[in-house]
Amino acid sequence: MSSSVSVAAEWDLLSDRFYRRLTLYSPLPWSAPAPTSTASSSGVGGAVIGRLDLSTHIVAAAPFGGPIAAVRDDSKIVQLHSEPSRRRLLLFSSSGHPIASAPWPPMLPRLHSLAFSSSLSLVGLLSDGSLLRFRLPDLQPSPSSSPVPLLPPASGGVADAVFWGGGVAILTEDNRVVVATDIEAADPHPRDLADPGVGDEEHVLCMAVVEPQFVMSGSPEVLLAVGDRVIAVDEDGVQLLGEELEIGPVQKMAVSPNGKLLAAFAHDGRLLVIPTDFSRIIFEYECDKWDINNNLHLQAYDNYQLISSSLPEAIEACIDAAGHEFDASRQRALLRAATYGLAFCSRFPHERFQEMCKMLRVLNAVRDPGIGMPLTIQQYKLLTAPVLIGRLINANQHLLALRISEYLNLNSEVVIMHWACEKITASPTLPDTVLLEGLLDKLRLCKGISYAAVAAHADNCGRRRLAAMLVDHESQSSKQASFTFVLIPLLLSIDEQEKALSKAIESGDTDLVYLVLFHIWQKVAIEKKAHLDFFGVINARPVARDLFMAYARHSEHEALKDFFLSTGRLQDAAFLLLKESRELEKNPMASKGSPLHGPQVRLIEQAHRLFAETKEHVFESKASEEHAKLLRSQHELEVSTKQAIFVGSSVSDTIKTCIAMGNERAALKVKSEFKVPDKRWYWLKTCALATVGNWDALEKFSKEKRPPGGYKPFVEACIDAGQKTEALKYIPKLPDPRERSEAYARMGMAKEAAEAASQVKDSDELFGRLKTTLAQNSAAASIFDTLRDRLSFQGAY
């Protein structure tokens, strides 16, 4: 790269700009890879300087210093020297170092052209108009080895084609244009453009594409040079361009990267620069030796006079120039010049300088022939550091990628992760333990890295044991970043269900717990294992157990019962039986007194026995025993009264019903059978008698003996029924004046209420309430006011 010629001599003036042509790498090694080499093992170090005759190959060079792909052009006659006769697809770095090679798939139509897509996969267009795609860096056909057709069979095949970042435009032999805008998609959806109307006798000289992102309509515009005219074809129509410019037949066209300009090489040797709308000629140059085909990188460079201008600008210019320079010694000279200036110029932002140094270090590192990515500084800025790192790891340059990411303070996780996965792929014979050690060594470098993702890759490579070991390690090392959504399906796939369940529970996401539960459940069902295994697993984990129970209550009753019984949760099994008994009751077939009544009682008795087996559920045991007894009594009552109104009601309601029906004896029988306390009995009987309006019986009942809970039940029953006269029989018997007062108030008897209230100590609040209660009665209200005034006067407040 260094040259003894003066710097200025390298530059040529073209119009008002200086240009130069750089030789980046020379000589190129071009070694043919060893025949046995696999994708990644063809080492750079062992390369032998060889030859690659570009003229006999179909070649594609990726933009942005990417790799070069080549395959021998079988339409040309070539003399074979020492190489094998079978064609191989070759991949080189920009510096000509072999990266990979693979045999060209046999039995295919002829290859028309090769190209790289914007995300660096290699695309081959076959002469029948089908696409064959290859993955980098191993050159494996992807997604499948069969080509994807883009053209209809009758089109006659490819006459010419132009690729751009994501798409291709094909000119067919029958002069139609087909475009596909997403050649990386599984189905690229080729579309016919409008018929360009080129006659059979005419010949398309060349074509170019204005990429879709530069066209208003969002679909690509294809320029065709036909005879002495240029036409633009898009989906909607055909347009004749630049007739008035009189360019004449165009031999070659190229669209500028921003889609605005077109360089056209006319048949008379003129090079023209025209806007893509052909509105005028911007620039015209007579050239004879300029080869438009060479994809030159044109670089403005007009820095030399700048040293004399003002200092900060000069420093800026030096730094800038260093950035554009490929030669390290010249970079150094320029940067040194900048530091001289910097010393005198405190205003200048020093970070600019440091930034440039950093960038140059990265650029020089990747430009090294060993790596072979001759990026310009603009390309680097467009590409960004993370993408560059991505390219490096795809080229298996992990160490450099790691160094760069460390140097730039970027997260090195992606590098190490990729390395680990590649390592696993590339080491099929290494024993698990050895490989694990090697992997862990590097994985430890990066805090918080997901072992799960690496383990998933190991599993994909058929190394389950290694995957399990990695997962094991994950659970030991990092509790926090568990990345469960990757990990759990992985654990399930390697048959680590219990671990998966624990992880799912740890994640706190019940949905994941269910995922694992159903997985295990299904497996148990398929393998016809006893449910016991499953039950054992979930019983040890309360979260899983409770979730299973919640789900099973909806749809897995039998399994739930099994679970309860086999894990000793007898009380829960008993409650489940009770639930079943109630469902029988709801069943429309289970009409009262029908034979279904029997099963219902039997289920309850079963539940009773289960409760009894536990020590802690004596209460439930007794209660279910009583429940069964009640159902039987109610059944008998329904038979004897011939009325289906008892089953399903409570003990209290049964008693009330009996009394309301006038069947005191039956009520008493229920009372003694269920040991109903006297207090409740009084409430129930008074209520029932009042409901049927049997006031005589009520009075008789009040005189049987002194009621154990007082006369309150009688008062309430009468008041609720609105029976003033009846109520007055019992109100005076209330011992508490407050209760008495309120009872009178509820009957609307203001005077009596007030009198009773006046016997209450601390009666203010009571008065307020009474007043509200009797608010509709203004006379009553005034009684209260008087009384209260009198009381407050006495100092009761």
Q: Is 651 near another protein (CB under 8 A)?
A: yes
Q: Is 645 near another protein (CB under 8 A)?
A: no
Q: Is 543 near another protein (CB under 8 A)?
A: yes
Place of tokens 């170090």: 45
- What crossing angle do the helices spanning 737-746 and 750-758 adopt, rounded to 10°? 170
Nearest Cα to 469, choosing from 480, 481, 459, 479?
A: 459
Segment lying near another protein (by CB under 8 A), choices 60-68, 390-398, 423-431, 474-482: 474-482
Among 140, 219, 510, 641, the residue binding another protein under the rule CB under 8 A is 510
Q: Is 758 near another protein (CB under 8 A)?
A: no
Among 306, 333, 359, 549, the residue binding another protein under the rule CB under 8 A is 549
Among 464, 680, 729, 733, the residue binding another protein under the rule CB under 8 A is 680
CA distance 698 to 675: 22
Q: Is 630 near another protein (CB under 8 A)?
A: yes
Q: Cα separations (Å) of 196 from 171, 172, 204, 587, 796?
A: 10, 11, 10, 77, 110
Minimum CB distance to another protein, residue 88 (Å):
44
Segment lying near another protein (by CB under 8 A), choices 75-83, 308-316, 391-399, 766-774: 766-774
CA distance 133 to 113: 12
Minimum CB distance to another protein, residue 582 (Å):
6
* Closer Cβ to another protein, 772 or 782, answer by number: 772
CA distance 726 to 720: 11
Residue type, 458: A
Minimum CB distance to another protein, residue 536 (Å):
18
Segment lying near another protein (by CB under 8 A), choices 135-143, 183-191, 508-516, 591-599: 508-516
Among 348, 563, 683, 711, the residue binding another protein under the rule CB under 8 A is 683
Among 507, 641, 694, 723, the residue binding another protein under the rule CB under 8 A is 507
Segment lying near another protein (by CB under 8 A), choices 44-52, 86-94, 95-103, 771-779: 771-779
* Closer Cβ to another protein, 332 or 447, answer by number: 447
Residue type, 784: F
Q: Is 551 near another protein (CB under 8 A)?
A: yes
Residue 610: phi, psi to the nearest 5?
A: -65, -45
Minimum CB distance to another protein, residue 377 (Å):
26
* Closer Cβ to another protein, 479 or 665, answer by number: 479
* Closer Cβ to another protein, 325 or 742, answer by number: 742
| Beta strands across the sheet bearing 238-241 | 204-210, 221-226, 229-233, 238-241
List of residues 6+ apart from 399 with CB closer than 8 A: none
* Closer Cβ to another protein, 704 or 765, answer by number: 765
Residue type, 332: R
Taking the alpha carbons of 554, 558, 562, 564 in that order, is the dihedral positive or negative? positive
Helix, strand, coil % in the chain, rounded to nearest 5: 50, 15, 40
CA distance 39 to 426: 10
Q: Is 775 near another protein (CB under 8 A)?
A: yes
Among 197, 536, 542, 599, the residue binding another protein under the rule CB under 8 A is 542
SS3 at position 596? coil
CA distance 513 to 450: 20
Segment lying near another protein (by CB under 8 A), choices 57-65, 177-185, 379-387, 617-625: 617-625
Among 21, 110, 447, 724, the residue binding another protein under the rule CB under 8 A is 447
Segment lying near another protein (by CB under 8 A), choices 325-333, 493-501, 591-599, 650-658: 650-658
Segment lying near another protein (by CB under 8 A), choices 192-200, 301-309, 573-581, 696-704: 573-581
Segment lying near another protein (by CB under 8 A), choices 181-189, 314-322, 546-554, 593-601: 546-554
Q: Is 613 near another protein (CB under 8 A)?
A: no
Q: Is 444 near another protein (CB under 8 A)?
A: no
Q: Is 793 near another protein (CB under 8 A)?
A: no
* Closer Cβ to another protein, 303 or 475, answer by number: 475
Among 163, 326, 575, 784, the residue binding another protein under the rule CB under 8 A is 575
Burial class, 653, CB count within 10 angstroms (exposed 0-12 / middle 13-18 / buried 19+): middle
One DSSP character per residue, 232-248 reads EE-SS-EEEE-GGG---
- The count of C-alpha atoms lying within 13 angstroms of the C-alpha of 96, restricted to the half-sphere facing its C-beta, is 17
SS3 at position 89? strand
Q: Is 372 in contact with 25 (CB distance < 8 Å)? A: yes
β-pairing, 88-92 with 98-103? antiparallel
Q: Is 778 near another protein (CB under 8 A)?
A: no
**Residue 497 in tokens:** 């269900």
β-pairing, 229-233 with 238-241? antiparallel
> Which of the residues 406 through 425 are near another protein (CB under 8 A)?
411
Q: Is 632 near another protein (CB under 8 A)?
A: no
Q: Is 746 near another protein (CB under 8 A)?
A: yes
Q: How far apart are the first and last CA of the chain?
A: 109
Here the contacts of 457-464 (C-beta below 8 Å, separation 24 or greater) are: 457/420, 457/421, 457/424, 457/425, 458/424, 459/490, 459/493, 459/494, 461/424, 461/425, 461/428, 463/424, 463/432, 464/494
Among 286, 441, 511, 527, the residue binding another protein under the rule CB under 8 A is 511
Residues in touch with another protein (CB under 8 A):
411, 447-448, 480-484, 507-511, 514-515, 518, 542-543, 545-547, 549-551, 553-555, 571, 575-576, 578-579, 582, 619-620, 623-624, 626-627, 630, 648-653, 674, 676-677, 679-680, 683-684, 687, 709, 716, 738, 742, 745-746, 764-765, 767-769, 771-773, 775-776
